[in-house]
Structure 1
């Protein structure tokens, strides 16, 4: 049994067809039973029959439209190979049976319909309607009378009631010729003829009879009169009206009655009804024939579609899934039904769901894998079988930029990879080095090549290492170990040396006088000074080998700078400190460590100025960064040294002293940046940027 939901769905999809079926049913019932009803007169029944005739014509057009639509749709579906050959044979028998069965039923029904219609037209229509029309010749005169009255009203409205002076020439040329009447006359209220225009068949004035004039004055409504003019019946219509001055006048408009037209009209009426009868029979026959064809095609199409549409949609869905397109919502035929095909559709939907989940899981895993590869510290390059770049991570892009290689494809060309692949066996990973040099420096890369085998294809994986960085880190690790030992070796004897010098100084200072005492003090002061420098050097060595934890506190860089500047203003009176503050530089920082940075940078700048000159310091804020700028008027750092500093090459920085390494490390711990610039005129400019938010400083 059909469920209510399926019945509603069917009604929604076929509401146009159901509407046509209802109209056709009502039309057939009326045509079969109209003339048995006593509620309507014969003329009313004929009027209904005329409307039914028009409805039949409309139904024929609609049936033609639906027949062609379904036939074209069937052939189109077969053309695009939605239906297999075996299904074509089944559809042929379905169409054949669905057309023959309704044809037999509808043709038998149409026999009674034609018999009933033929009996009515022969007995009722021709015996009553045609004879009634032929026995009413006065209808011909009434038609001419109505036509003359309409034309007379038009002449009064357009001309006679508007003009100041009525002219016969206007009545003749503008109205009589174009309206095809034989006379137009204008009388005054006493019956005197004022203006006239006659056709060539009227040789004298016609005038108006006094008795008729009196009757017209009394009624004051349009009246007609038939008289003989030149032995021919002549019809005139008299219409009272007022001119533009308000004077009462009478318009007479007339036309000869043509008896030969009247007799011909009777013959035309008879022929017209015979032709209408034939047209009705032909239309009814065509309607029944087209209805039979349409019902056959429509029923066959629906039965065939119910059989093939789920299978067609399964084929389409399988093709979409093979292209990794799992959007199957628009395929309406994939709704499971309670039959064998429905169970097949249900199993297919479950399979599609599992495949979609697996595909999404694979995509998520691939995204995770690509993310891991993208953040590896070594360069990763994935190539297709034709050596086209499929993936390259950030480390490789940075490495190529550092080595002045424009793109991964240039690296492939340098490696001459096609020739290399033809010479090696990639059963196991293959390792090689690639070296080249420019005028300024030499480059060296380590490359591991692997072949990744898949089900139907393969890809190549290149792991690219920076051998220069690798060697540099090895040397840096060794240097840090040496620095730690040197720090201990220097620091251990400094304390007893300092204590011994202080003891010697106290003992001899009491016994010596004059020049000897002065030499003693000068010598011990120099020894103490260099002891402190050695202690500072040892401390810097120790700091370089460790990575201390920052003690972050919220404060202002201005306050930290002022504490250091106040000490240097006393110690170096010939150095002028100029401070420009746009922002106090509030941020999170380690106060002790940054003070070491200020001291080291100030020391270097003052030494470069030979303890006299100008040191400019400015503080500002820009897009979440606190910016400190220090400028001196010394000789300036050489350009090649500036480039090494800005590149962060720690091994190059050792030539400039351990203090600069300590500065660079502390700023890096604060997640900041430090850059050196050589001024055009004289001096060096140092720009330090520190993030103003705590979470950025603590990041990573």
Structure 2
């Protein structure tokens, strides 16, 4: 719509300029329509001013809003406007000066005198002819006055005077007689009453007159005295008309017209200047504002493709390759637009291909990360400088170190940052340094915050073509070794129990029989020696039997009789036996119960769990023998979906080297201990799908915690056995 208005305004401006041009050339049209044209042009100039103002305001709004391409439109507009305004203003100023000087030159003194001289020459020539005619007329009048009016021969007079028409009139203008060289003329040319009156009064009249349709004539009138009438008062007039030669008449007419026009122009010199100045000013304003409007149109037409290309370029820079610009021309802009469209298509295809490749890489990476995340083995990836590149979650879990904080550091720097990794790092460096090519494998003991782990490490170098570096895979085989060791100890215990238990009973019976048979036959001193010896044998046999029974208990895998149990009740039942036993002893530890009344039920074998509680209480009592104020604390609580039972004492705690191997058979700090109490506790706990932990709580407290799964809703409706 805006383009249509601008084009229409320019066409209307051209039409008004054309009308001004016509008005300046056509005097009649100018006289009739000039004021209306001036008003129309002024009104249209105001309309163009408003249109240009609106266009400038809209461009300012676009610039303020940061519309892309508006600055380019402004630049084109300024260039095109300057190309129009500067030449137009220069031509206008030159035209005004030239017009002023030209108009002034029209009224130069020489021109004025030349025109006046030309007019005088023409007048002199005509006056000369008029004088000649006057002389001829006067010469003929005396002859006519002596003749009778009825006998006048005007044709002879015409030949004599070389006039074209002769007429005799009375004083009232009535025709007495007339003659004309043209026989087709039926009536003479009668002068008006004023001319007749002047001729009667003065007796003569001569003038140069223009006869309508016949040209320029010399009119001469002379009064004729007529004696034949006998009345002297009668007055007759002789009129002669002589045609001025056509060339002379035309030249005289031209000179007269030019002189008259010159006089009129001379009188309106300033008005003429003002007229042309107003006309030129209107032409300038119409041209100026029309050019600005057209400059807007051209600027938008030129900047629109470039603006679209620039906007599309910005979209491409932001990653949008779907932009396609319409090719509207076959010029350089069209070629540029087509090249841009081709480039965006190629970029979009390249991005699609790259995206597909990236998706494949991401998919492979995600798959690999998923595999690494779900591996139970720890995996470390090292680059060519042996900097930590990648570590999976299992590696952090096994080493108990947040390895993500160490990524990008060399493994030596990792050991400095985390001293607990020093032995681990040294083992890796030792493996890679010992095997320049191929794989290596090693086993080590790893200590972290009082925990001992046995790690199995396997390493391999990566190909140099892929960047070099290496991969270390390691597993925590502590539980595996413990299971193997437990199985081995179980087998040993089973065989020892079988091989040792059989001869113990005969030994005990033989010792009792020897004492019974020979005690009375010996003297008192020898009998005492015999009794002490046999009692020693019997006590040692009993100790051996207890040890064998412990071996059997550790080695056998009895059938579990799982029932719904309340652990609080089971603990109180076992503790009641210890309270009865403590009443007969002088010093016994204080037992504090912190039982959770809302403790959930568990599924377990009551006999096996009693043995767990008994072993823990017995160990606690043994650890408090040398403590002045022994205290045992028994606590139960719910931990998420598990039941936790913990027993703590204020004894000396476990030494670190013992704590690490506390659940291994025959590891004990007691002189008479078998070292099977805690291994049995761990075995029974694991049979119930639970876990057991040992903590030294400083300054003087040791806590053993057992965590068992709580019974579910399904467990409340079923009761079954698990072997």
TM-score by length of 2: 0.46
Which entry has the higher C-alpha Rg, 1 or 2? 2
